[in-house]
């Protein structure tokens, strides 16, 4: 269980921050007339914040892989081709 938490700690942190941000958004900006589907309900606002936090963490956790893992980068500029 501990290995699972360590492996996905970025996602859990993103969800936690999103949940807190969603509730703060409800508390500070929320809709008083209950005509707003998300911001008038603290549960919905918190849930959407958690989902958004997960997506941000997922985007932040992705790293670019090299195109060719076994080849070095070509450091020559286009003008040095003939030299």
Would you kindly state where each structural domain of the chain is located, as residue ranges? 8-59
Residue range 29-78, pLDDT digits in tens: 888 777 888 888 889 999 999 999 999 998 887 766 655 555 555 555 56
Section 7-24 average pLDDT: 93
Distance CA 13, CA 5 (A): 10
Query: CA-CA distances (angstroms) from residue 20 to 5, 36, 78?
Result: 19, 19, 51
Q: Which residues of 1-22 are buried (b: 16+ CB within 10 A; e: fewer)?
A: eeeeeeeeeeeeebbebbbebb
pLDDT for res 71: 53
Q: What number of other Cβ atoms are within 10 A of residue 45's Cβ?
A: 25
pLDDT for res 1: 82
- Residue 10 pLDDT more than 70? yes
Higher pLDDT, 1 or 10: 10
């Amino acid at each position: 269980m501990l290995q699972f938490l360590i492996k996905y700690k970025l996602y859990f942190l993103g969800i936690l921050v999103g949940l807190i941000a969603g509730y703060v958004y409800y508390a500070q900006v929320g809709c008083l007339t209950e005509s707003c589907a998300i911001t008038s309900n603290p549960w919905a606002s918190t849930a959407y914040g958690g989902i958004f936090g997960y997506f941000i963490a997922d985007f932040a956790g992705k790293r670019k892989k090299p195109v060719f893992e076994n080849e070095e980068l070509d450091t020559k500029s286009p003008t040095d081709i003939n030299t």
